[in-house]
Chains A and B, each alone.
Chain A
């Protein structure tokens, strides 16, 4: 128990430093971009006839810090705002706090990507076991090759191919946005059905592009465990096949759980291409739009959120590992 707590403390400290670093990067993104958007806006407001104080105040509301203060003052303003989740106000969506925009967008990212990840994990792990057991046969070969190819193909290529096949050539699935605007949002069959229908292609794309990695990882993990002495030992002790299989599965899947936890961290920023292609209003599309609109506060906020989720996932993955692996739990270094 002590070890878990000590590890947790260490990770939290490291995670905190990382978030600090990323927040600082975000600050400089907003602040130091050529043409200094803040100064530009400040000057524009003054040109528009606003009093310097009022203009400064307006800019502060927008970006979270004073445009005229020293760099250090601006920095501490920004960091102070972060402490109560104040990320400034979006420029491209006037008046909306960045945080609100982000949470609204996150909703559209989390669900499809989560479903896609879990789906690909389940299918990939099962087929990975199969590929490992049949690795000398034709089917195992085919599974491994399909895994490498799907793993190697970039997500946008996969998405575009699926769109061409299922939306252009054989138009059976929609590929334009998250839901049909004909339906009123709410708990009615039409709306939900439309949501599901529109989610099919994005989810399948995400699952397919992640599937290859799972198959390959599980295959190599199972092959490693199959070569372990304790599996032969269990067989020579006359253990039932089902029990031996459980030994193999549990030992082989252990490292994959860590990868799963890590990949859940990539969830928020992992669907940029898919969201662009399927016009899904998630965080990825938000980031692209904010880049195109030069909405720096929104961009910095999205970047910070995406990165922070990875850092948190890193910590969770490691703690998770500590809990499920007795070797780590008792303090022995399992690496």
Chain B
């Protein structure tokens, strides 16, 4: 046990680290095809959010003669109480969900990374204060807070929604980045770079960030998943006005208006957004699993 039979070869520079990293990504992806599937799913959703709504008119055609229809050849998942095609609703509704998720991602990364870096770099008093705040934020339960905030914000645009969710969700990324910064610091990484006469800016942008990117990405994905759930959930709970079409509104209407819990006619209406969420979850779980293996050497060796 004490014998390490295969000593790890020390990586000398961050450049080789990066190259090995991409090789590792490829290897991990190749080993389990399911991970490839995860990437494909996520890319597919991105396409759906960007280009999907372009294929449909702004106002989807309704049909008073075909309201809340069960699935058929014409309407794969049936129609909603206004007679609109459910599949079209899912596709047009994806833009709100995915756009706000993208905004959330941006904010968690920018906020979390800079605060985490600052905290880990400065240490001392600033670190303590910032981490206390992060702790406090992590203590306050997210969903109840969002419910309360729903009385103030209307979340009309996806950008607003993403903004609020991002501001609530940067804690995890900040913690991860700070832990990484501290650990790199402990390993003499930063001191060594300083010793080589590199500027702080260079150390952060060329050395620290590339080696941390994976952790940031992973924590970002987790934050984004949480954000997608939260926003769909908020609309589903019906505390926000139904100003826009999105999956959460669909769920709410399916359950509380079309009566999916009573009649099987509305099942397609309920299941379509559910399946979309499940598929997106699956994609994210698979990608996070792959990332986990790439960045967690202990799992890799097994």
| A interface residue numbers (CB < 8 A to B) | 18, 21-22, 25, 29, 33-34, 135-136, 148-149, 152-154, 156-157, 160-161, 163-164, 167-169, 175-176, 229, 232, 266, 269, 272-273, 276-277, 287-288, 291-292, 294, 296, 299, 302-303, 306-307, 310-311, 314
Q: How far is the CB of B256 from chain A (nearest CB, A)?
A: 9
Q: How far is the CB of B289 from chain A (nearest CB, A)?
A: 7
Complex-state Cα separation, A44 to B224, whole angstroms: 44
Are A152 and B281 in touch, CB under 8 angstroms? yes
Complex-state Cα separation, A21 to B219, whole angstroms: 27
Are A148 and B285 in touch, CB under 8 angstroms? yes
Q: Out of B1, B151, B263, B271, which one reaches A33, CB within 8 Å?
A: B151
Which of A175, A176, A287, A291 has the most CB atoms of chain B within a 10 A radius of its CB?
A: A291
Are B289 and A148 in touch, CB under 8 angstroms? yes
Is there a chain A Cβ closer than 8 Å to B99's Cβ?
no
Assess A303 versus B1: contact at CB under 8 Å? Given A152-B225, A273-B237: no
Are B144 and A306 in touch, CB under 8 angstroms? yes
Q: Out of B144, B225, B236, which one reaches A302, CB within 8 Å?
A: B144
Assess A303 versus B229: contact at CB under 8 Å? Given A154-B277, A229-B1: no
B residues within 8 A CB of A299?
Answer: 148, 151
What is the interface size of chain B, counting residues whose CB is below 8 A from a CB of the partner? 40
B residues within 8 A CB of A164?
Answer: 260-261, 267, 270-271
Nearest CB in chain B to that of A229: its residue: B1
Are B136 and A276 in touch, CB under 8 angstroms? no
Are B148 and A29 in touch, CB under 8 angstroms? yes
Assess A294 versus B285: contact at CB under 8 Å? Given A135-B302, A229-B1, A272-B237: no
Given contacts A152-B281, A288-B239, 16 further A-B contacts (CB under 8 A): A33-B151, A34-B152, A148-B289, A157-B274, A163-B261, A164-B260, A164-B270, A169-B267, A175-B261, A276-B237, A277-B255, A287-B148, A302-B144, A307-B139, A307-B140, A307-B144
Q: How far is the CB of A305 from chain B (nearest CB, A)?
A: 10
Complex-state Cα separation, A246 to B295, whole angstroms: 32
Are A167 and B261 in touch, CB under 8 angstroms? yes
Complex-state Cα separation, A201 to B41, whole angstroms: 31
Q: Out of A136, A153, A288, A311, which one reaches B281, CB within 8 Å?
A: A153
The 8 closest A-B pairs by CB, nearest first: A154-B229, A152-B285, A269-B141, A152-B281, A269-B144, A291-B239, A306-B144, A291-B147
Is there a chain A Cβ closer than 8 Å to B145's Cβ?
yes
B residues within 8 A CB of A168?
Answer: 260-264, 267
Complex-state Cα separation, A218 to B239, whole angstroms: 36
Complex-state Cα separation, A148 to B233, whole angstroms: 20
B residues within 8 A CB of A291?
Answer: 147-148, 150-151, 239
| B interface residue numbers (CB < 8 A to A) | 1, 136, 139-141, 143-145, 147-148, 150-152, 225, 229, 232-233, 236-239, 251, 255, 260-264, 267, 270-271, 274, 277-278, 281-282, 284-285, 289, 302
B residues within 8 A CB of A21?
Answer: 136
Are A272 and B143 in touch, CB under 8 angstroms? yes
Are B145 and A160 in touch, CB under 8 angstroms? no
Complex-state Cα separation, A187 to B233, whole angstroms: 37
A residues within 8 A CB of B151?
Answer: 29, 33, 291, 294, 296, 299
Q: How far is the CB of B130 from chain A (nearest CB, A)?
A: 16
Are A287 and B144 in touch, CB under 8 angstroms? yes
Q: How far is the CB of B141 from chain A (nearest CB, A)?
A: 5
Complex-state Cα separation, A29 to B289, whole angstroms: 40
Are B282 and A149 in touch, CB under 8 angstroms? yes
A residues within 8 A CB of B260?
Answer: 164, 168
